[in-house]
Structure 1
Amino acid sequence: MSLNSIFQYFVPKDRKVFFPLFEQAANNVVAIATILVETVNSNNPATRDDLYKQIDKLENVGDELTHQIYIELGKNFITPFDREDIHALATAIDDVADNIQGAANRMNLYSIDDFTVPIKKLADLILQASIDMEKAVRELKDLKNVRNIADSCIRINSVENQADYVFDRAVADLFLYEKDAIKLIKYKEILATLENATDMCEDAANVMETILVKNA
């Protein structure tokens, strides 16, 4: 058997197997973020209950996709880019979904029915960052549109900075004006989890920027 034949034996039958999984995971995050925005803008408790359930289901879908990426990582000897970057990107995308679900769970468990302006703003920012993350992920499969990926990553970083400001201002206002200590704790936890979702979007963007540098 020639050296080339041996090499081909180890090449995965579908070297692009990771890209559809990444795209599905990113699409799933956009779907979860879209439902989150709908949830915090709904005045109907029954509607919100249904939306919370949808978020839970989609988060489970995200977990399955992440698990499948890890399985493919173990099966394939040759990968389209560095193994640690594949693992880091899959983890970051999954962490966005986890934090969205975490915030939604707290809203549900704490029986929140007064969704403040900062909560709505953070939900909007999560959706913006998720959409840009999904756009960048779609471009990874051939790395021909490097500028598009870089632009999306820049926008994600900008959104994360906005989220930091919204979070800091909202927490400061809570300590200034909220006299109910229990309510303050509830809202601070929700705000922190929402802000963390934008941090995870930035983590995904950082991984993709690293991939661009390595494959330049």
Structure 2
Amino acid sequence: MGLNNLGKIFMPKNKVFYDLFENVAVTVNLMGQQIKKLVFESDRDKRAPIVSQLEDLEHRNDELTHQIFTELGRNFITPFDREDVHALAMSLDDVADCIYASAKKIHFYNVNPNETGIQKMAELIETGTQEIQIAVNGLRDMKHLRKMTDALIRINSIENQADDVYDLSIEKLFQIEEDIKTLIKKREVYSVMEKVADKMEDAANTVESIIIKYS
């Protein structure tokens, strides 16, 4: 009997880690929806409560991540490798942090987000968080590997698309933006939104590692 199969026999009946990770994935997906809503809102005053909602969701994610680490210290046996539990929790937390950072920069810099590049980045982020939820939900029983791997492939594609949007948007920004302060602010927004895509890919890579070890 292989070590992986042996590990499955002793897998704890309390699937607390799956519950926590699925709640994190829901929270991250909600944040993806909210960042898209934010950039399609032209009224700054109406954007403020959306930023506040994103802050609440980011705090919720922090609490869930803390619970994961608490359970990691409490449980000798985990559903998959401890380093993978830690890596997945950290990568998902990074996604949430960067989404909230994007919203904060848009709001505090008073950047008008109603331009094609920023909106396209937000759409990619929203789609990526949906795919993350699909992939993370599949970890519980590993019965839908094709669905999970398709989601991971789409996340990798989203990261590549985000790179392209970033490059083209920054090039256009330097061509048309005459105010240096506005240029710097918008470049900061694009940079942190592109970082969200990088962090989503990190999370996808961690899920892929778990699939390879335990499927």
Aligning the two structures, in what range does the TM-score lie when normalised by the shorter sequence? over 0.9
Change over 3 Å in CA distance of 1:144–1:13 after alignment to 2: closer
Question: Could you tell me which amino acid in structure 2 is paired with residue 196 of structure 1?
Answer: K
Corresponding residue for residue 3 of structure 1? none
Alpha-carbon offset, residue 11 of structure 1: 7.0
Runs of 4+ in 1 over 2 A off after TM superposition: 10-13
The aligned counterpart of 1:142 is 141
Alignment of 1:1-216 (within 5 A): 12=12, 14=14, 16-216=15-215
Structure 2 portions without partners, runs of 5+: 1-9
Deviation at 1:44, TM superposition (A): 2.2
**CA shift at 1:178, angstroms?**
1.6
Q: Distance in 2 between matches of 1:56 and 1:11?
A: 35
CA contact (8 A) 2:95 2:196 kept: yes
Alpha-carbon distance in 2 for matches of 1:114, 1:156: 23
Select the structure of larger CA radius of gyration: 1
What is the distance in 1 between the residues matched to 2:113 and 2:92?
Answer: 29
TM-score (normalised: structure 2) = 0.92
User: What letter is aligned with 1:190?
Assistant: V
- Residues 84-137 of structure 1 show CA distances to partners (whole Å, capped at 9, x for unaligned) of 111111111111110010010011111123521110000000000100000111
Q: SS at 1:115's partner residue?
A: coil
Q: Percent identity?
A: 44
> What is the number of residues matched between the two proteins?
206
After superposition, give the CA deviation of every residue in 1:125-154 in whole Å (9 maximum; x if it has no partner): 000010000011111001121111111100
State the SS of the aligned residue for 2:114. Answer: coil
List alignment gaps of at least 5 residues for structure 1: 1-9
For 1:116 and 1:188, locate their aligned partners in 2 and report how far apart those are by CA, in whole Å: 13
Residues 11, 76 of structure 1: 8 Å contact kept: no
